[in-house]
Structure 1
């Protein structure tokens, strides 16, 4: 079974084994819900589709009947250009699944390779400290590419 490489902003420890929904970001303003559904049906039968409109760039969620269809959508549709704008496709998750890092200590990490994801950055730092609570790579919304830097959060200052 082919599985997508985890990309973007997934919470550490996120389990994709039962997930049937994908998040779609960086959607061009001309894309309609009907077009979004049509594009994502190329990966499998769509159960539901929701488009959230923003002024410059919209986002949405696509629910599949089968988990394998969601995995295929991530593999085949991430960075696909619609109206000349690359969409970002990843597993959908509830925002409450991320640990609140408001009171944590954050460090800047620069000179990251373009293929480094949140998950990879978190895995690297958490291997050295169980106090690592989050890692985020900064992405360019227009190009869908990494900006080459990110931030890592820790539960205590001494570890930083």
Structure 2
């Protein structure tokens, strides 16, 4: 998990808008060993000058489903459709037709898991999604339960 500031937001060392980001965020279910191997391959790819998606991995399908609820996916889609940023959490809540507190909690949780960033602009917190697309990459194989850890 990410370290947090006194007000509960993830501690960011710099503005995420100032850092390069790939066009695609890949969300997957895989074991720690698979995620580590994918990360090492991505490092080699980037070292060769090629682009690679950002990756967020979950250990089980159940964990992914717990975090990526229909409402949180709707929130991410809304950000994708507004060039990746909302003016504020209040504005995002208005766009979604939802209560500020629930949107605030969803933004905070998604930021904790690295699925979006929060830009701190003094009194305002701006949800920011630097990707053009989010790819959900979940492999289901026969005989496996969605609650079992991903195979090693």
Scaled by the length of structure 1, the TM-score of the pair is 0.25
User: Which structure exhibits the higher relative contact order, with contacts defined as CA atoms closer than 8 Å and separated by 6 or more residues?
Assistant: 2
Higher percent of residues as helix: 2
Scaled by the length of structure 2, the TM-score of the pair is 0.26
